[in-house]
Structure 1
Amino acid sequence: MTDETIGSVGYRDVPAEQGGAAGRTWWDANAEEYLDEHGDFLGAVEFCWCPEGLREADAHLLGDLDGRRVLEVGAGAAQCSRWLAARGVEVVATDVSGGMLGRGAALNASTGVPVPLVQADARRLPFADASFDVAFTSFGAIPFVPDAGAIHREVARVLRPGGSWVFSVTHPLRWAFPDDPSTHGLTANRSYFDRRPYVETDTAGRVAYAEYHRTFGDHVREVVAAGLLIEDVVEPEWPADNQEVWGGWGPVRGAYLPGTAIFRTRSAG
């Protein structure tokens, strides 16, 4: 949204159906601007987990993918899936935003590394039960819906017994601090336990963007309620050679506060 179209911003409750639907419209409208701003950092055929710059090539959070079928949820332009496909992994990328998938199709063509792109709400995946060995998302889907538990349940459904579900999200601690990469962002100014979403409305009062906060305990409860087992939580440190500023992320805050939490889980069986 531009300054001319923003009506109000702040933390407040909104009807779940409005908040949950806003993500698709927002990403459709902002896909080009987002990738123009962050595309060089993300790469076209790269797997980046977070603004800290942690790459799957170094972290190996998905484990051995030889012979595995992989699903990316909330893939955006499918950069991560493309990196996997370039290494011979069978992967499918999904996203709710046609705008982001359109950019993904363009990158498929320009890189010569095509991946299947499927438009789908992460809460209603169009795949059969037990059809994937591994699923993952890098900051996709989960922050933008009021009912993230539905995402975990859907992923658990499409995973084969023992399959992995790995997802990165904004570190819950960050919610208590201003979204500011400078020293101003090092002073807490709201309750960690205030779960009202961050909301932007347009000049007509319609919800145009909503991002939802969950405490660490909330994430754990939602994962466990879906029948998944938590194996690890990774909190990447900010590397000294990363000078990228991305919203509230940057080297100043990164030296003191965690910005990302990556949950490694698996289905029972």
Structure 2
Amino acid sequence: MAGVTDDEAEGVTRRTVGDAETRRASRRWWDRDADDYQDEHGAFLGDVDFVWCPERLREADARLLGDPAGQRVLELGCGAASAARWLATQQARPVALDLSAGMLRHAARAAETTGVRVPLVQADALALPFADGAFDIVCTAFGAVPFVADSAAVMREVYRVLRPGGLWAFSVTHPMRWIFLDDPGEGGLKAVHSYFDRRPYVEQDADGVPTYVEQHRTLGDRIRELVGAGFRLRDLVEPEWPEGHEQLWGQWSPLRGRIFPGTAIFISDKPLVEGE
């Protein structure tokens, strides 16, 4: 769950990056960063838990997916797959998918330590290796969607692998956060970017090769992607910062969280009848 830093920082820019470059950057970044990411955030996310966002909204409390018991569930961009393991304890039938072998290594390690095992698949969200209608639920907490150049194509792939009536739920950085710097303090309260600048945030090496790419879409863009793929939007959840939660996560902080949202969770479904 990254965000937007000062565009004047060394090696940081906003520019268009194609699918191939984005895919290579994401795979390398998460493979390289997997250990540090888990060291920093693993305790917060838990080994067997489904945490939607830095605001600490847990699926055990929110039940945004309904009752997962008996449901075939795909966790997209699963990271260490803590959410998939939690779903398994709720009698769901989850599969965890990620582009990064480094993150899946942590998923396999956690399966050994917890004894909760789920199938792990390394694949691209733009080309899901599953049959049409294979799942009842597809979900992700900050996985895949912000890290591909063509997120509308991800929506179409998710639609394909869902059965009619199936649920698609995903969380991303709230689009309005892109107006601000990636600063959890007072520096992050001043609007400095255009909300309508859809160029991705890019970190690149000395040769200009992208090493990290994160995409921005407006709320309207996300809704059009969903509707264009055939989904019906059921809810848009903007978690409020909870009392007593003082933990920082990158740009997320009590200071900012009590003023404006940091996360958007889209809940949609595939109609029972095509075109309904």
Q: Does 1:244 align with 2:211?
A: no
Could you tell me which residue of structure 2 aligns to residue 232 of structure 1?
235
Q: Report the Cα distance in structure 2 between the residues aligned to 1:192 and 1:81, rounded to whole angstroms.
A: 33
Q: Does 1:28 align with 2:34?
A: no
Q: CA deviation at 1:244?
A: 1.2
Determine which of 137, 141, 149 is the counterpart of 1:138: 141
Could you tell me which residue of structure 2 aligns to residue 3 of structure 1?
none
Residue 102 of structure 2 aligns to a residue in which SS? Answer: helix
Contact 2:48 2:85 in 1 (8 A): yes
Q: Report the Cα distance in structure 1 between the residues aligned to 2:17 and 2:70, rounded to whole angstroms.
A: 44
Residue 108 of structure 2 aligns to a residue in which SS? Answer: helix
Amino acid at match of 2:145: I
Structural mapping, 1:1-269, within 5 Å: 8-269=11-272
Percent sequence identity is 57
Contact 1:236 1:260 in 2 (8 A): yes
Contact 2:68 2:91 in 1 (8 A): no
Runs of 4+ in 1 over 4 A off after TM superposition: none
Contact 2:18 2:149 in 1 (8 A): no
Amino acid at match of 2:254: P
Q: CA deviation at 1:217?
A: 0.6
Q: Deviations over 1:83-128 (max 9, x none)?
A: 1112221100000001000110000001111111000101110000
Contact 2:188 2:256 in 1 (8 A): yes
Q: CA deviation at 1:64?
A: 1.5
Residue 11 of structure 2 aligns to a residue in which SS? Answer: strand
Contact 2:68 2:87 in 1 (8 A): no
Residue 212 of structure 2 aligns to a residue in which SS? Answer: strand
TM-score (norm 2): 0.93
Q: Deviations over 1:113-163 (max 9, x none)?
A: 111100010111000000110110000001111100111111100100000
The total of aligned residue pairs comes to 264
Q: Report the Cα distance in structure 2 between the residues aligned to 1:68 and 1:87, rounded to whole angstroms.
A: 10
TM-score (norm 1): 0.96
Contact 1:71 1:132 in 2 (8 A): yes
Contact 1:73 1:141 in 2 (8 A): yes
Amino acid at match of 1:84: L
Residue 24 of structure 1 aligns to a residue in which SS? Answer: helix
Q: Which ranges of structure 2 fall in alignment gaps of 5 or more residues?
A: 1-8
Contact 1:168 1:263 in 2 (8 A): yes
1:66/1:15 CA distance change after superposition, 3 Å = closer
